Amino acid sequence: MSNDATAPLIRVEGLAKRFTLHQHDAARINVFEGLDFEVRPGECVVLAGPSGVGKSTLMRCLYGNYLVDCGHVLVRHDGREVDLVSATPQQILGVRRRSLGYVSQFLRVIPRVPTLQLVMEPLLENGVAADEAECRARDMLGALNLPEEHWGLPPATFSGGEQQRVNIARSFVRRYPILLLDEPTASLDAGNREIVVRLIREALAEGAAMVGIFHDEDVRNAVATRTFEVAQYRAAA
């Protein structure tokens, strides 16, 4: 087991994913198979390919949100590799809490909790004291230009772009060693996109490993260190 600072933080081996739709005569959708890739500290690997090729599916497999049919998803966690394919639910939750962040396109949170509290949560869960967590959450929301009047409100009524910034704040308020970004800038204006680009670059400079899906070409060009074509592993139908 190497603790080399450049060792991959994610290593995917022989990954296969298919869906069986039981309500539609058990129709099979074979998304990919034999998929290999790895991501090292400081890398931002951008998943590329046409709509439906399996970019989001791959990302959800990396998060333990989708079950895989074959292969391994090895994630560096507390100095060792955990295979999310064989990990227990408790282990996966631990990996997500401390090592693996995920920014989805949509904010899915508990309805009544105010924004500031939501952004503090990832810190509190990791043992950061409440007053320090609040300071960091305020800084983060400020950096993302979310108007302060919003901080005490639950985000349910926020605009798409405001919700997305809450989502981003939750994932960048602490440094996850690994971050998965599924179109984190889709509903942001140019100014806010630039801020997010800066956050991503800072985290990369500090050694985070990222996997991203960005439909916006400017954002993609600004953060990608490498592109990964999912289509090369398209499964035989």
Partner 1 sequence: MNREPENVPEPAPLLQVDGLTRMFGHVTGCRDVSFELHPGEILGVVGESGSGKTTLLRCLSGKLTPTAGAAVFDSRRHGPVNVFELSEQDRRRLQREEWGFVHQNPRDGLRMRVSGGANVAEPLMNLGDRHYGRMRQATVDWLSRVELDIGRVDDKPRNFSGGMQQRIQIARNLIHAPRLVFMDEPTGGLDVSVQARLLDLLRELVRDLDLSAIIVTHDMGVARLMADRLLVMKDGCVVETGLTDQVLDDAHHAYTQLLVSSVLQI
Ligand X SMILES: Nc1ncnc2c1ncn2[C@@H]1O[C@H](COP(=O)(O)OP(=O)(O)OP(=O)(O)O)[C@@H](O)[C@H]1O
In the complex, which residues of this chain contact Mg ion (CB under 5 A)? 56
- Whole-number minimum distance, CB 228 to ligand X, in Å? 12
Cα 58 from Cα 213, distance rounded (Å): 11
Which listed range, 45-53, 79-87, 128-136, 152-160, lies at the site for ligand X (CB under 6 A)? 45-53
- Whole-number minimum distance, CB 50 to Mg ion, in Å? 11
Residue of the chain from 12, 31, 118, 210 that contacts ligand X (CB under 6 A): 31
Site for ligand X in 52-81 (CB under 6 A): 52-57
Beta bridge partners of 30: 18
**Identity of the residue, 2 or 23, whose beta carbon is nearer to partner 1 in the bound complex:** 23
- Whole-number minimum distance, CB 90 to partner 1, in Å? 6
Judged by DSSP in three states, 8 sits in coil
Which residue of the chain is nearest Mg ion when measured via CB? 56
**Identity of the residue, 85 or 230, whose beta carbon is nearer to ligand X in the bound complex:** 230
Residue of the chain from 6, 20, 145, 221 that contacts partner 1 (CB under 8 A): 20
Cα 31 from Cα 146, distance rounded (Å): 38
**Binding flags for partner 1, 154-183, as an x/- string (CB under 8 A):** --------------------xx--------
Q: What order of strands is seen across the sheet that includes strand 209-213?
A: 100-103, 178-182, 209-213, 44-48, 226-229
Question: What contacts 151, CB < 8 A, 6 or more positions away?
Answer: 114, 115, 116, 138, 141
Is residue 137 at the binding interface for ligand X, with CB under 6 A as the rule? Answer: no
Cα 236 from Cα 86, distance rounded (Å): 25
CB 210 within 8 A of CB 185: no
